[in-house]
Homo-oligomer: A and B are copies of this chain.
Amino acid sequence: AGPARPARLGLCAACHGETGIAQMAGAPNLAGQRLDYLRAALAQYRDGRRNVAVMRAAIGPVSDAELDALARWYSVQSPAAAQAQP
């Protein structure tokens, strides 16, 4: 079994989908992305090195532990379904 569904998943899923298939133009697929990369990207959105207002706002109230649970969730989702989407 993979990781438990993170409590804060809904916050991410609006744009990235529950399984990491993007639901919105401009948002990347996250399914199956490397965990180290997801962790680094989240740290960069948090501290502003990646200056993206929507991401900074979204993760602002999320604890580091919750954020890591979300990164782990997406890293183990199957990326296969991504191919069907433009």
A residues in contact (CB < 8 Å) with B: 22, 25-29, 31-37, 40-41, 49-51, 78-80, 82-83, 85-86
Contacts and interface: CB of A to CB of B under 8 A. Distances in A.
A51 to B, nearest CB: 7
B31 A79 contact: yes
Copies of the polypeptide in the assembly? 2
A41 B78 CA distance: 23
A interface, by DSSP: helix, strand, loop or mixed?
A: loop
Contacts of A82: 32-33, 79
B83 A34 contact: no
A59 to B, nearest CB: 17
Contacts of A28: 33-34, 37, 41
